[in-house]
Structure 1
Amino acid sequence: MALRTLSAKSAAALDQELMSAGAFSIDQLMELAGLSVSQAVFKLQPLNQGKRILVACGPGNNGGDGLVAARHLFHYGYQPTIYYPKQSKNELYQRLTKQLKDLKVPFTEDFPSALKETDHIVDAIFGFSFSGDVREPFPKVIEALRDTKIPVLAVDAPSSWNIEDGPPGSGPGKGFMPEALISLTAPKPLVKWFEGRHFLGGRFLTPEMAEKYNLELPKYQDLDQIVEVNIEGGKL
């Protein structure tokens, strides 16, 4: 099915409304997002095809989604490794980090070496609120994601992409086209330039909230928290 997209401004407004009128906490939304990401990994990288998952996390909410996903992946039977060079001092992120360390999930500061020892990568560096220049240490990480032959799943946005205008024309993200993308809550305009497999994770919106933001609620199957989708006007 094809779905309409939600601008960065509207996506931010929807998140705020979910945490006010919708009565969701940020912890709940991050848990739902990370659960959706973990299910997308399971669809793309079955356990019998390789259990090693490298999760690259940025300092914001996108990175938090990656931390939650890694915890779920561990419990599914995968072997996640976390690259999280700009660890937030926010109490929520510290709790998510501790949960992983309690499970003995390894953290690494050596991204190139970790890249050589993984079967799949989760790009949870920058999400829909990203703007401006890519700052250290992420330029070389994004270049490595662009150049690797290992499949990459991007969370909400391929890192360095402009949310409205898609892939950058220059810089470390030029030419970066992950194998898969999972949009959280609703697709963003950048998906019109995306050429890989596209999933949506948003099985918690009320029909009233979806109608207010002119969103279509897809039909999720059975217990799935994600659904593979098409985009109106896109290339898929």
Structure 2
Amino acid sequence: MSSLPSLQNSHSISYLSQREAAEIDETLMGPFRFSVDHLMALAGLSIATSIAEVYKPSEFNRVLAICGPGNNGGDGLVAAQYLHHFGYKPFVCYPERTPEPLYTGLVTQLEALSVPLMSVEDLPLDLYKDYDILVDAMFGFSFDGTARPPFDDLIQRLVRLHSYDQTVQKQPVIVSIDIPSGWHVEEGDTGGEGIKPDMLVSLIAPKLCAKKFSGPHHFLSGRFVPPVIADKYKLQLPPYPGTSTCVRIGKPPQIDISTLRGNYISPELLEEQVESDPIDQFWKWFRVAVAAGLKLPNAMALSTASKDGK
């Protein structure tokens, strides 16, 4: 379960139109002197942190970030770097590289980390066979119209994941950055045939299409927003816990506690097999616990009883 608290009433959060999102971006990079690379660094860290809150690298290790040519793709490139440092094994598909120094620098940084950069032709046809997490970083809030090749095919590959038999194949999870690629920024998945992400990481404030998001995990990144901008656009934003750069929006998914129970079956313990000295027996068990790498092997519970068994 996530360690971050959630904002229980997601309806109290502001949702931005495409025009409002563009205006806020222009204000941040204009009068407030936020550079594009600074905003990407903030977004990439928050995206990676959000993923790590829900999908632990011990279970979801192989990550494919599919990055578009714009700022949304840049956010994905930065997130891949942080995911590497967080213990994941990221791969990056960046089919339409932007020649600007900012983007070539991000590629150089990924290469320095030995993160594989793959072409579309390098990708398996069925993405579920090779990856545990698919980061959709193709298009952001400035997207309008129909996706062009090769992104139209990449979007369809993510869409097709929903058609596989989940009882037979382990499904990779889809994490979309700010906007599920191919969705209308304000109206959402109008045809009902688009990407259905398991996690959405909204940036600064969720866009109107996020109201149509039905996945279990919605996080918000944007702790850096100056109060004057929040006041100008009447943004209602949740408090961020502690030092975190992201916060869960809405209630966390319901968990069936009964499914968490495990059966603990151990070999029988016979009196003739234990040490005669209880201290020797304790050290025998303690050494086994340490060798097994158990967490807090020195923790114990003490139970006492009176003469009448109470």
TM-score (norm 1): 0.92
Q: 3-state DSSP class of the match of 1:181? A: strand
Q: How far 1:114 moved relative to its partner?
A: 8.0
Counterpart Cα distance in 2 of 1:114 and 1:83: 15
Measure the CA separation in 1 of the matches of 2:174 and 2:16. 23
Kept after mapping to 2: 8 A contact 1:122/1:154: yes
Pick the aligned partner of 1:131 from 144, 166, 189.
144
Aligned residue for 1:190? 209
In 1: Cα distance, 2:242 partner to 2:177 partner: 23
- Pick aligned residue for 1:87 from 72, 81, 97: 97
Instruction: Say which of 123, 130, 136 aligns to 1:117.
Output: 130
Give aligned pairs, total: 228
Match of 1:58 in 2: 68
Corresponding residue number in structure 1 for 2:191: 169
Distance 1:159 1:168 in 2: 13
CA distance in 2, matches of 1:35, 1:176: 23
What RMSD over aligned residues (CA atoms) do the two structures have, in Å? 1.5
Range 130-139 or range 108-117, more displaced: 108-117
1:108 partnered with 2:118: yes
Q: Percent identity?
A: 44
The partner residue of 1:160 within 182, 206, 209 is 182
SS at match of 2:98: coil
Give the corresponding residue for 1:178.
Answer: 197
CA contact (8 A) 2:184 2:190 kept: yes
Cα contact 1:111–1:141 (8 A) shared by 2: no
What amino acid sits opposite 1:4 in the alignment?
A: S
Contact 2:183 2:194 in 1 (8 A): no
Report Cα offsets for 1:91-117 as digits up to 9, x if no partner.
Answer: 110000110011110011123358221
Q: For residues 184-223 of structure 1, what are the structure 2 equivalents within 5 Å?
A: 184-196=203-215, 197-223=217-243
CA distance in 2 between partners of 1:114 and 1:54 (Å): 13
How far apart, CA to CA, are the structure 2 residues paired with 1:114 and 1:211?
46
SS of 1:147's equivalent in the other structure is helix
**Paired AA for residue 34 in structure 1:** G
Instruction: Select the residue among 80, 83, 92 that pairs with 1:73.
Output: 83
Alpha-carbon contact 1:108-1:114 (below 8 Å) kept: no
Counterpart check, 1:224 vs 2:234: no
Q: Which has the higher contact order (CA 8 A, sep 6+)?
A: 1
More moved, 43-52 vs 11-20:
43-52
Question: Given the alignment, which residue of 38, 41, 51 partners 1:31?
Answer: 41
Residues 143-197 of structure 1 deviation map (CA, whole Å, 9 limit, x = unaligned): 1111223100000010000001111427xxx242111101001110001111012
User: Residue 191 of structure 1: SS of its match in structure 2?
Assistant: helix
- Cα distance in 1, alignment partners of residues 225 and 94 from structure 2: 30
TM-score scaled by length of structure 2:
0.71
- Unpaired runs of 5+ in structure 1? 232-236
4+ runs deviating over 3 angstroms = none
Q: Where do 5+ consecutive residues of structure 2 fail to align?
A: 1-6, 162-170, 252-310
In structure 1, distance between residues paired with 2:194 and 2:81: 30
Distance (whole Å) between structure 1 residues aligned to residue 39 and residue 126 of structure 2: 29
In 1, Cα distance between the equivalents of 2:203 and 2:126? 26
Moved more, 113-122 or 196-205: 113-122
The one of 44, 49, 53 aligned to 1:43? 53
